[in-house]
Amino acid sequence: MNWFGLTVGIATLFIIGLGFIWVIRGERYFGYLWWPYVMGVGVSCVIGSLFISNHWGSVLLGALGASLLWGSTELKEQAVRGELGWYPFWEKKILPPFADVIKKWKAPSL
């Protein structure tokens, strides 16, 4: 019996679950315009996971990177949910550097 896959699966589910929390909280206080930065961190995590020799470290960093990548595509919809009143709306959002430029880009949504 190889328990590696199941334990990795459960750990990944936990990371995905954390993704729900940071997307909701992060969008509330920082806004959806942070998506390119979140995406960049996600890609960096996935690339970084290639260079970690420890199996668990590599797997968890890869899953975290994928979760960040996914979360970056969820921020736009979460912003709309906040505006619709489904989640608390925080007016004084901390905008990212180059927010005016990012505003012109189409935010990804899958």
Q: How far is the CB of 98 from other proteins (least distance, A)?
A: 17
Rule CB under 8 A: which residues touch other proteins? Answer: 1-10, 12-13, 15-16, 32, 45-46, 48-53, 55, 58-63, 65-67, 69-70, 76-77, 79-86, 89, 107, 110
Q: What is the DSSP letter of 87?
A: S
H or E element that contains 73: helix 55-83
Q: How far is the CB of 9 from other proteins (least distance, A)?
A: 3
Q: How far is the CB of 25 from other proteins (least distance, A)?
A: 16
d(CA 110, CA 83): 20
CA angle 91, 36, 20 (to 5 degrees): 65
